[in-house]
Each structure stands twice: as C-alpha cells, then as structure tokens.
Amino acid sequence: MQVTIAENYQALSKQAAEIVAAQIINKPTSVLGLATGVTPLGMYEELVSLHKAGLVSFKEVTTFNLDEFVGISPLHPGSYHQYMRHRLFDHVDINIPQAHLPNGAAPNLKQECREYEAKIRKAGGIDLQVLGIGRNGHIGFNEPHGKFEAFTNVVTLDSASREANARFFSTPHEVPRQAITMGIRTIMQARTILLLASGFEKAQVLAKALEGPVTPAVPASVLQLHSNVVVLADEAAAQIISKINTGQAAIDFG
C-alpha cells in the first residue's frame, strides 16, 4: 500500500486526476471504476481540465461506477447517473454506451447485479478503481458487517450513509433505503485501487482502515489485503495515520 499525503484538497484532486490520466495515457482502452460522493468532485474537475487542454481523451475508455440508489430513475437529480453526467461525462469525449452505472430502477434487481458483474468481466476487468471512504468505513455502498466475498449486490443503506447522502435529495425522507453496489470482491479484483480521503471527519476511519485489523466491521480495511493500492489523503484526513506512523499516537481500535 502506498500512502501519499497531499497538502490540501486541491492538491489531492490534482494528484488523483494525474493518476487517472496517466492510466488512460498508458492504456487508452482502460477500464475505470468510478466513485461518486463529495471527495472525487475536485478530481473530476481536474480531469475535465486535462481533457480540455488536450492532454487526455476518454474516447476508448470504458467506465463502471461503484453504485447507484435503488428505486429512483437514472434521470432523478439525486441519482449517481446524473452526478456522473454533470461532473464528467458531459464534459469529456467518452462514448456514453461505454459508461456504465447499475440501474437502480431495473425491474429485476438481482438480474441487474448479475449482468453488471458480467459486463465488467466482458470488458476485461477493472484496471483502475477509484474509491472514496464512508464515515462508517464503507467502500462503494458495502456497509459494515457485509461479506468480503460479495459480488455486485443489493444492499440496505445504514443510517450514516442515508444521512451522508441526504444532500442529494429535497427531504431526508426521500433518500433511498437501498442501493446496488459492486461487492467487496468486485472491488478487490481491480488491478489497481486509488483510495481518496479528504477532511478531518475521515481521519479516524482512515486510520482504522489502514492501520487497524482487517474486519468486515470496517469494510475498507480489506484493502490492506490488495497488492496494489494507492491511498491519497489530504493532511486533514491523514492526521491520525501520520501520528501513528511517527510514533506520536497509538490508537486503540478495540
């Protein structure tokens, strides 16, 4: 695991975009796994700038997003489909049929999950998976205490995740209770993983994920078992891990 600490959110976003751009430049037909949430917003902005500057083309890139809410249409303004359109897809030269998100409005959700997994496999697997981390340690929408061996599946969101996503909906009541998410196993099969963490509210969970025991109680801790993970954290998110690494703190993860 390679941990890089960026000075601030802007530096983190720039470095993250450069890693993604380098992946695409090295392999124009790359398969990218993409994340939503607040954390990667700056990275998407930087990627759009790199594209507009003529430095990177998404023409041959295939993308698979980590997750989507169940029970809302891809056209709903709170959907991750719309997030991706507005933040990236509408501003770059990606071939839209190659930009995939699970369909949370599918009539048969189990079949949708199976087909999503099959599409990832057919595309040759994910070269670079971008991840954020939830305050409860989730990656994608793999909530605490799920199974590490899960492929893409339907999950029930816990209250922390529903609260964190309330900003995408007009009332907290409207926040969906379920989502389709790539499973931990789907994520672990990516060749390279880029985990982004920003802000002090992620410091504790990031320390648990990187330095604590590998446990389904902290889903992101499974990344310790992956052989090719790059962690990019800003100074605020890295506060606790820096202290552990320099011997200034010992954390009781019990």
Q: Which residues bind to ligand GLP, rule: CB under 6 A?
A: 35-39, 66-67, 132, 134, 140-141, 161, 164-165
Q: Does the annotation mark 153 as catalytic?
A: no
21 burial via Cβ count (<10 Å: 0-12, 13-18, 19+): middle
CA 173 to chain centre: 24
Please list, in sequence order, all residues whose beta carbon lies within 8 angstroms of the beta carbon of residue 69, skipping any fewer than 6 positions away: 76, 78, 79, 80, 104, 165, 176, 178, 179
CB-nearest residue to ligand GLP: 132
Q: Does the annotation mark 136 as catalytic?
A: yes
Report the C-alpha gap between 50 and 54 in whole angstroms. Answer: 6
Q: Does the annotation mark 60 as catalytic?
A: no
Q: Does the annotation mark 67 as catalytic?
A: yes
Cβ atoms of 206 and 165 closer than 8 Å: no
* List 138, 142, 153, 165, catalytic entry: 138
| Least Cβ distance, residue 37 to ligand GLP (angstroms) | 3
| Least Cβ distance, residue 139 to ligand GLP (angstroms) | 7
204 burial via Cβ count (<10 Å: 0-12, 13-18, 19+): middle
Residue 57 or 178 having the CB closest to ligand GLP: 178
Residue 93 or 130 having the CB closest to ligand GLP: 130
| Least Cβ distance, residue 132 to ligand GLP (angstroms) | 2
* List 67, 117, 127, 234, catalytic entry: 67
Residue 159 or 248 having the CB closest to ligand GLP: 159
Residue 39 or 221 having the CB closest to ligand GLP: 39
Cα radius of gyration rounded to whole Å, the chain: 17
Report the C-alpha gap between 101 and 25 in whole angstroms. Answer: 23
* List 45, 115, 136, 158, catalytic entry: 136
Cβ atoms of 71 and 107 closer than 8 Å: no
| Least Cβ distance, residue 68 to ligand GLP (angstroms) | 9
Residue 23 or 142 having the CB closest to ligand GLP: 142
> Would you state the torsion angle of the CA atoms of residues 198, 204, 209, 212, taken in this order, to the nearest 10 degrees?
150
| DSSP secondary structure letter of residue 249 | -
| Least Cβ distance, residue 123 to ligand GLP (angstroms) | 20
**Residues annotated as part of the active site:** 67, 136, 138, 143
